[in-house]
A = this chain, B = another copy of it.
Amino acid sequence: MPRVIVYVTLKPTLLDAQGRTVQTALHSLGFGEAGDVRLGKIIEMNVPEGDEAGIRARVVAMCDELLANPVTESYRIEVEA
C-alpha cells in the first residue's frame, strides 16, 4: 500500500511569525546560530495501490480542499511505493 507524504510550507515571501518565535526561543537557549527559522507541516497517509499519476491527482485535490491554504502555503507531494 503506497504511503503518501505531503510537505506543506509557508510561501517564502511571507513572514513566518511562528518560526520567528521558535528562532527567538532557540537564541535564548544558546543556539544563536539558527537563522531564518521557518515551520511547516507534514501529512502522511496510506492510499490504495494505483498508478502514481492518479494518486498524485487525488492528493493534489486533498491539498487544495483541506490540507493546505493555497493563499499562503505551498506543498510538495512524495509517493513511496
Contacts and interface: CB of A to CB of B under 8 A. Distances in A.
A52 interface: no
Given A29-B66, A33-B48, A33-B58, A41 B40 contact: yes
Number of copies of this chain in the oligomer? 2
Given A31-B58, A31-B61, A65-B29, A42 B39 contact: yes
A22 B66 contact: yes
Interface string A1-29: 10000010100000000010011011001
B26 A37 contact: no
Interface of A: 1, 7, 9, 19, 22-23, 25-26, 29, 31, 33-48, 58, 61-62, 65-67
